[in-house]
Structure formats: C-alpha cells, structure tokens
C-alpha cells in the first residue's frame, strides 16, 4: 500500500471507528479525554464506546448534536446476566443518552446448545431499543471457535433484529479475526438484510484496518463500508490513524483493543 492509499484507508477508518474505553478501572477523567479525542483535527470518529456508568457524562459533553454517537455495553463482558437484568441495563443506558447498545450474547449457554437463550436475549433487548438506537450484538467469536457456531450465532442475531453483528468484547484471549469476519460477512450477505459488521479487539493499526476493509469489500461490495454498515471497535487504532493522516509515521501492526 502506497502513502496515498494508506491515507485514504486511514480517513475511512476514522469515520467508522468506535473509539473505545472499556477498561475495568476507567475514570470520569478518562471519559472526558476520550470524548475530546473523538473530535480530531482530521474529523470525528463514528462513536465512542464506554461503560454504562459514563453514558450520562458523555451525553452532557456531546450534547444532542448527534455528530459522535454514544455506544455502551450490556451483559458485558461475561454474557451471563439474566434477561431482565440486561433489559434494565439497556433501558437505563438509553435514558442516560446512549445511541447504540452493544449486547453480549449468552455465548457459554449457546456453546452448550441453548440457541433459545441467544434468541430470547437479543429479542428482549431489541424490544426496548427505539428505532433510533442501534443494537450491535457481540458473538464473542474467539470463545465460540467453531465456524458453524459462529455462523449460527450470526444467523440468530440477525433474525432477532440486530442492526450489527460484532465479533468480540476485547476481553478474551482471541478477539477479532479475519476468519470470523469471513463467516459473519457471508451470513450478512446471505440474509439480504441491512445489517452491519463490527470487528473489535486487536485492531491497532491502519494496516490492520485495511485487511478488514479488503475482506468486507470482497464479500459485500466496494461501496458497502460506511458508518451505517461497518465499525471498528478499538482504542489504540486512533493513534495510528492520527499518525498516518498527519504524515508523521507509517502504519505498522499494533496490539491492543
């Protein structure tokens, strides 16, 4: 990839980035910094992704202009909460100002054969999300491992009304992979529904982002990548995007969420 292509890729990556801080010890001061970082000299990120306890703070900072969306997580990261508890989390997050809900499926129960647990969880959360609130369903593909399980989880999540399917929480040993992306994108294509894709965890450079862009374009078409259909969940990726767009560094693969 030459410098021009790298800069073009960086600009698109910025526009589809969910700038994330889901550290267990995240503080209000770090959220303030995150909100400021999301508004870069090169443009804004698509969203920030934060713990529910910080949603009201972020909404107060951003106001109601809607330029940068606020995503939060529920049933996160374990996927083990009861449906009614997850619904309460979701309702409160939306009341606090969340624009997007990233829901972890009960992936351990799903691995044991309980498809109904996944369908019921997604359906219940979808039911309390207004049309304006995106539901991004996290499959935790690194824990599912089996391609058939990843495929089936994707199908269920889409059938129950998910706006996006997302690979990972970023909290397990294996997070986003191109192999999982391939399966999930094929399911989206075959569903013929307007569903987006979000790889998350381990995407730390524009070079990494380019691999996912190529993969998505090959399956979904050249004009498919936009904030309404594609997001990256990452914290470190913005550093490399800034470096590339500022002309201060070349992109090299990096670790991290």
How would residue 243 be classed by pLDDT, with cut points 50, 70 and 90? very high
User: Among 45, 54, 46, 95, which Cα is nearest to 72's?
Assistant: 54
Check pLDDT > 70 for residue 157.
Answer: yes
Strand-pairing partners, residue 21, are 50
* 55-62 helix and 28-37 helix, angle to the nearest 10 degrees: 40
Told to judge if 102 belongs to the known catalytic residues of this protein, a careful annotator would answer: yes
How would residue 65 be classed by pLDDT, with cut points 50, 70 and 90? confident
Check pLDDT > 90 for residue 253.
Answer: no
Strand-pairing partners, residue 103, are 74, 137
Measured CA distances, 81 to 56, 74, 189 (Å): 23, 9, 31
- Per-residue pLDDT at 102: 99
For residues 140 and 106, what is the distance between their CA atoms, to the nearest angstrom? 9
For residues 234 and 147, what is the distance between their CA atoms, to the nearest angstrom? 24
- Per-residue pLDDT at 248: 87
Q: Which secondary structure element, helix H or strand E, spans residue 134, and what is its range?
A: strand 134-138
Contact 68, 48 (CB under 8 A): yes
- Identify the structural domains of the chain with CATH numbers, from first to last: 3-246 (3.20.20.70)
Catalytic pick from 18, 96, 136, 198? 198
How far does Cα 120 stand from its chain's mean position?
A: 21
Per residue in 163-203, pLDDT (tens digit) is 999 999 999 999 999 999 999 999 999 999 999 999 999 99
Catalytic pick from 102, 163, 208, 240? 102
How far does Cα 163 stand from its chain's mean position?
A: 11
In the chain, count H helices and then E strands: 11, 10
How would residue 254 be classed by pLDDT, with cut points 50, 70 and 90? low
For residues 81 and 58, what is the distance between their CA atoms, to the nearest angstrom? 25
SS3 call for 19:
strand
Measured CA distances, 159 to 130, 189, 193, 197 (Å): 17, 13, 9, 15
Per residue in 78-117, pLDDT (tens digit) is 999 999 999 999 999 999 999 999 999 999 999 999 999 9
Q: What is the DSSP string of 119-132?
A: HHHHHHHHHTS-TT
Q: Tokens for 180? A: 């999982």
SS3 call for 117:
helix
Return the percentage of the chain with pLDDT > 70, whole number. 97
Rg of the chain on CA atoms, in Å: 17
Per residue in 13-52, pLDDT (tens digit) is 999 999 999 999 999 999 999 999 999 999 999 999 999 9
Catalytic pick from 18, 166, 208, 240? 166
Contact 231, 47 (CB under 8 A): yes
Told to judge if 198 belongs to the known catalytic residues of this protein, a careful annotator would answer: yes
Neighbours of 251 (CB within 10 A): 23
């Amino acid at each position: 990839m030459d410098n021009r292509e790298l800069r073009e890729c960086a600009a698109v990556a910025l526009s589809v980035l969910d700038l994330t801080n889901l550290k267990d010890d995240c503080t209000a001061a770090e959220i303030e910094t995150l909100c400021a970082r999301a508004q870069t000299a090169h443009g804004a990120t698509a969203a920030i992704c934060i713990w529910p306890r910080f949603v009201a703070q972020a909404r107060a900072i951003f106001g109601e202009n809607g330029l940068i969306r606020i995503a939060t997580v529920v049933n996160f990261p374990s996927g083990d909460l009861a449906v009614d508890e997850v619904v309460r989390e979701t309702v409160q997050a939306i009341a606090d100002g969340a624009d997007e809900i990233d829901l972890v499926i009960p992936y351990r129960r799903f691995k044991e054969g309980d498809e109904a647990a996944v369908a019921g969880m997604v359906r219940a959360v979808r039911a309390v999300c207004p049309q304006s609130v995106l539901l991004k369903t996290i499959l935790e593909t690194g824990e599912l491992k089996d391609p058939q399980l990843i495929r089936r989880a994707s199908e269920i999540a889409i059938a129950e009304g998910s706006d996006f399917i997302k690979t990972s929480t970023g909290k397990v040993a294996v997070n986003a992979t191109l192999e999982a992306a391939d399966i999930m994108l094929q399911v989206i294509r075959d569903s013929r529904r307007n569903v987006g894709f979000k790889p998350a965890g381990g995407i730390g450079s524009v070079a990494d982002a380019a691999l996912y862009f190529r993969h998505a374009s090959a399956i979904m078409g050249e004009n498919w990548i936009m904030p309404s259909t594609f997001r990256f969940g990452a914290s470190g990726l913005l550093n490399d995007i800034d470096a590339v767009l500022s002309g201060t560094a070349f992109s090299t693969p990096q670790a991290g969420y």
